[in-house]
A = this chain, B = another copy of it.
Amino acid sequence: MYDVVIIGTGPAGLSAALTLKQLNKNFLWLGSKKLSTKINNAECIRNYTGLISVSGKEMQEVFLKQIDQMGIEITEAQVTGVYNMGDHYGVLCGDMQYEGTAVILTVGVETVKPLEGELDYVGSGISYCATCDGFLYKGKEIVVLATDKEYEHEIEYLASLASKVSVVALYKEVGLSGDNIEIIKDRPLSVSKENKKMKMQFKDKEIEADGIFMLRSAITPSILVPGIEVEEGHIKIDRHGKTNMEGCFAAGDCTGKPYQYTKAVGEGNVAAHSVVTYLAEMKKKNS
């Protein structure tokens, strides 16, 4: 059991990790070793206090160097669910499960809203994790919506199982090819289900499949953490980073605007300090 599981490797997660490391807490940090796609794509950041007119790539390099210098590990994983187990949290990543007394959610924000109808079929036709649910579609037809090139290896994995994969690629320079892969360069509008078949609607057409995978950089919080209070698509927190669930804290873009690196690191720092207070309270309660 870890003291804390931090979910997300953007600036908010990094800031929380640095402070928890500094305070000698036993934490697990889940996300991508590439940190954040958004940062990497940023052209020039001028208002981040302490980094003078940096490109996203330069910021990323500094962050990676700092992680290395502090001896912090990132465990690469796609978190698919965070469950309140009473006195601790279970964090599901495909078929791996981790446990923490507390969790810090720094899961970012999806700039596109869920498709119309999407939330109605979560777990019954719509999946967010190729590794977890791919095997369900062996020999079947699927649609995969992907927002970033980084998901191509997951799509290739799905194509090794499914009979046909229609890829709705919402990014540039698609590098996929294969006999059973079809690329669709069009924006989907909605999803629906009819006679056990999933359907995805576009302006001028509709496609049909046995299942749909949504591979995005952020999962809608209410899907990821059952029971979490959400306000206009953002996780609701107080000034200490507390959510409505005891022991569950949040920081960064997922808690609302401004979507700024500086705001994110500030909230990550606050959440880490709140976790430390929470851990001390729990220890006292259990002793």
* A contact residues vs B (CB 8 Å cutoff): 11, 14-15, 18-19, 21-22, 46-53, 59, 62-63, 65-66, 69-70, 237-239, 256-258, 260, 262-270, 273
Q: How many copies does the complex hold?
A: 2
Cβ-defined partner of A50 (8 Å) among B22, B51, B239 = B51
* 13 more CB-based (< 8 A) A-B contacts, given A19-B47, A50-B63: A15-B47, A15-B49, A18-B46, A22-B47, A49-B66, A49-B265, A49-B269, A50-B62, A50-B265, A239-B256, A258-B269, A262-B269, A266-B266
Given contact pairs A237-B239, A239-B237, A49 touches B263 in the complex (Cβ within 8 A): no
Bound together, the chains give a CA A87 to CA B157 distance in angstroms of 61
Bound together, the chains give a CA A59 to CA B51 distance in angstroms of 10
Task: Decide: B62 and A52 in contact? CB cutoff 8 A.
Answer: yes
Task: Decide: B273 and A266 in contact? CB cutoff 8 A.
Answer: no
Closest chain-B Cβ to A119's Cβ sits at a distance in Å of 26
When distances are taken between beta carbons in the complex, the residues of chain B under 8 Å from A267 are 266
Bound together, the chains give a CA A51 to CA B65 distance in angstroms of 10
What's the dominant secondary structure at chain A's contact region? helix
Bound together, the chains give a CA A53 to CA B70 distance in angstroms of 9
Bound together, the chains give a CA A62 to CA B52 distance in angstroms of 8
Task: Decide: B260 and A263 in contact? CB cutoff 8 A.
Answer: no
Residue of B nearest to A46 (CB): B22
Given contact pairs A238-B239, A262-B266, A49 touches B273 in the complex (Cβ within 8 A): no
Closest chain-B Cβ to A20's Cβ sits at a distance in Å of 9
Closest chain-B Cβ to A236's Cβ sits at a distance in Å of 10
Closest chain-B Cβ to A54's Cβ sits at a distance in Å of 9
Residue of B nearest to A265 (CB): B49
Bound together, the chains give a CA A238 to CA B51 distance in angstroms of 27
Closest chain-B Cβ to A94's Cβ sits at a distance in Å of 29
Residue of B nearest to A20 (CB): B47
Closest chain-B Cβ to A136's Cβ sits at a distance in Å of 40
Closest chain-B Cβ to A160's Cβ sits at a distance in Å of 39
- Residue with the highest number of chain B CB atoms closer than 10 Å, among A46, A59, A264: A46
Q: List 13 A-B contacts (CB under 8 A).
A: A15-B262, A18-B47, A50-B50, A52-B65, A52-B69, A53-B69, A239-B256, A257-B273, A258-B273, A260-B269, A262-B268, A263-B270, A266-B267
When distances are taken between beta carbons in the complex, the residues of chain B under 8 Å from A257 are 273
Task: Decide: B46 and A50 in contact? CB cutoff 8 A.
Answer: no
